[in-house]
Amino acid sequence: MIDSDTDQRLTVKRPTKWTVCEDILLAVVAAVQLDVEKLFMITEALWNILKEKHGYADEDLLQMVQDIDLRDGQLDGKVARQPNPPCSNCGRTLMGRHPVCLYCGAVAVRAPFDR
Ligand SMILES: [Zn+2]
Protein backbone atom coordinates (compact mmCIF):
# COMPACT_ATOMS: atom_id res chain seq x y z
CA MET A 1 0.00 0.00 0.00
CA ILE A 2 1.26 3.47 -0.90
CA ASP A 3 1.23 6.17 1.74
CA SER A 4 -0.37 9.12 -0.04
CA ASP A 5 1.44 11.60 2.22
CA THR A 6 4.85 10.29 1.22
CA ASP A 7 6.46 10.59 -2.18
CA GLN A 8 7.84 7.07 -2.61
CA ARG A 9 10.43 8.12 -5.20
CA LEU A 10 12.01 10.81 -3.07
CA THR A 11 11.18 9.26 0.32
CA VAL A 12 10.42 12.74 1.59
CA LYS A 13 7.46 13.50 3.82
CA ARG A 14 5.25 16.01 2.01
CA PRO A 15 4.17 19.10 3.89
CA THR A 16 0.55 18.93 5.05
CA LYS A 17 -0.28 21.97 2.86
CA TRP A 18 0.48 19.88 -0.25
CA THR A 19 -1.82 17.12 0.90
CA VAL A 20 -4.65 19.62 1.36
CA CYS A 21 -4.02 21.00 -2.14
CA GLU A 22 -4.03 17.48 -3.60
CA ASP A 23 -7.30 16.69 -1.83
CA ILE A 24 -8.91 19.83 -3.22
CA LEU A 25 -7.61 19.11 -6.73
CA LEU A 26 -8.84 15.52 -6.59
CA ALA A 27 -12.28 16.73 -5.51
CA VAL A 28 -12.36 19.27 -8.35
CA VAL A 29 -11.28 16.64 -10.89
CA ALA A 30 -13.97 14.25 -9.61
CA ALA A 31 -16.61 16.97 -9.96
CA VAL A 32 -15.45 17.80 -13.51
CA GLN A 33 -15.52 14.09 -14.43
CA LEU A 34 -19.13 13.89 -13.25
CA ASP A 35 -20.02 16.99 -15.28
CA VAL A 36 -18.33 15.56 -18.40
CA GLU A 37 -20.12 12.23 -17.97
CA LYS A 38 -23.46 14.02 -17.61
CA LEU A 39 -22.74 16.09 -20.73
CA PHE A 40 -21.89 12.90 -22.66
CA MET A 41 -25.23 11.40 -21.67
CA ILE A 42 -27.14 14.56 -22.62
CA THR A 43 -25.30 14.75 -25.96
CA GLU A 44 -26.03 11.08 -26.69
CA ALA A 45 -29.69 11.53 -25.78
CA LEU A 46 -30.00 14.57 -28.07
CA TRP A 47 -28.22 12.73 -30.87
CA ASN A 48 -30.55 9.74 -30.50
CA ILE A 49 -33.55 12.07 -30.75
CA LEU A 50 -32.13 13.57 -33.98
CA LYS A 51 -31.52 10.10 -35.44
CA GLU A 52 -34.88 8.64 -34.46
CA LYS A 53 -37.11 11.66 -35.10
CA HIS A 54 -35.30 13.30 -38.02
CA GLY A 55 -33.41 10.51 -39.78
CA TYR A 56 -29.83 11.66 -39.33
CA ALA A 57 -27.07 9.02 -39.45
CA ASP A 58 -23.88 8.74 -37.43
CA GLU A 59 -21.93 9.66 -40.58
CA ASP A 60 -23.72 13.04 -40.61
CA LEU A 61 -22.52 13.74 -37.07
CA LEU A 62 -18.97 12.60 -37.77
CA GLN A 63 -18.80 14.80 -40.88
CA MET A 64 -20.09 17.83 -38.96
CA VAL A 65 -17.56 17.28 -36.14
CA GLN A 66 -14.78 17.08 -38.75
CA ASP A 67 -16.04 20.24 -40.46
CA ILE A 68 -15.98 22.12 -37.14
CA ASP A 69 -12.50 20.78 -36.34
CA LEU A 70 -11.25 21.94 -39.75
CA ARG A 71 -12.53 25.52 -39.41
CA ASP A 72 -9.01 26.57 -38.40
CA GLY A 73 -7.44 24.48 -41.16
CA GLN A 74 -6.11 21.76 -38.84
CA LEU A 75 -7.69 18.38 -38.12
CA ASP A 76 -6.41 18.17 -34.55
CA GLY A 77 -9.46 17.41 -32.41
CA LYS A 78 -9.60 20.98 -31.13
CA VAL A 79 -11.51 24.12 -31.95
CA ALA A 80 -9.19 27.09 -32.28
CA ARG A 81 -10.00 30.03 -30.05
CA GLN A 82 -11.45 32.94 -31.95
CA PRO A 83 -10.51 36.52 -31.13
CA ASN A 84 -12.99 38.30 -28.87
CA PRO A 85 -15.75 39.88 -30.97
CA PRO A 86 -16.45 43.61 -30.99
CA CYS A 87 -19.19 45.11 -28.84
CA SER A 88 -22.38 45.49 -30.85
CA ASN A 89 -22.91 48.94 -29.29
CA CYS A 90 -19.54 50.72 -29.20
CA GLY A 91 -17.42 48.48 -31.45
CA ARG A 92 -14.61 47.98 -28.94
CA THR A 93 -13.30 44.48 -28.34
CA LEU A 94 -15.23 42.57 -25.67
CA MET A 95 -13.01 41.44 -22.82
CA GLY A 96 -12.78 37.84 -21.60
CA ARG A 97 -16.10 36.25 -20.66
CA HIS A 98 -17.67 39.34 -19.12
CA PRO A 99 -21.44 39.43 -19.69
CA VAL A 100 -21.32 43.15 -20.47
CA CYS A 101 -18.98 45.43 -22.42
CA LEU A 102 -16.48 46.96 -19.99
CA TYR A 103 -16.41 50.20 -22.01
CA CYS A 104 -20.09 51.01 -22.50
CA GLY A 105 -21.98 48.49 -20.34
CA ALA A 106 -23.96 46.99 -23.24
CA VAL A 107 -24.89 43.33 -22.93
CA ALA A 108 -22.19 41.25 -24.68
CA VAL A 109 -23.76 39.33 -27.56
CA ARG A 110 -21.81 36.18 -28.34
CA ALA A 111 -22.38 33.12 -30.50
CA PRO A 112 -23.79 30.20 -28.46
CA PHE A 113 -20.62 28.10 -28.81
CA ASP A 114 -18.01 30.86 -28.38
CA ARG A 115 -15.16 29.72 -26.20
ZN1 LIG B 1 -19.41 48.52 -25.76
Instruction: Quick: pLDDT tens for 23-47.
Output: 899 999 999 999 999 999 999 999 9
CA of 69 to the centre of ligand 1 (A): 30
Same domain, 68 and 86: no
Same domain, 67 and 15: yes
* Higher pLDDT, residue 62 or 97: 62
In a domain, 8, yes or no: yes
Domain residues for the domain of 38 are 2-72
CA of 68 to the centre of ligand 1 (A): 29
CA of 18 to the centre of ligand 1 (A): 43
* Portion of the chain with pLDDT greater than 90, in percent: 63
Same domain, 67 and 96: no
Same domain, 18 and 64: yes
* Nearest-angstrom CA–CA distance, 21 and 25: 6
CA of 65 to the centre of ligand 1 (A): 33
CA of 103 to the centre of ligand 1 (A): 5
Same domain, 51 and 33: yes
3-state secondary structure of 31: helix
Same domain, 64 and 114: no
pLDDT of residue 6 exceeding 90, the answer is: no
Same domain, 94 and 64: no
* Nearest-angstrom CA–CA distance, 109 and 88: 7
Tell me the pLDDT band of 3, cut-offs 50, 70 and 90. very low
CA of 81 to the centre of ligand 1 (A): 21
Number of structural domains, the chain? Answer: 2
Q: What is the pTM of this model?
A: 0.62
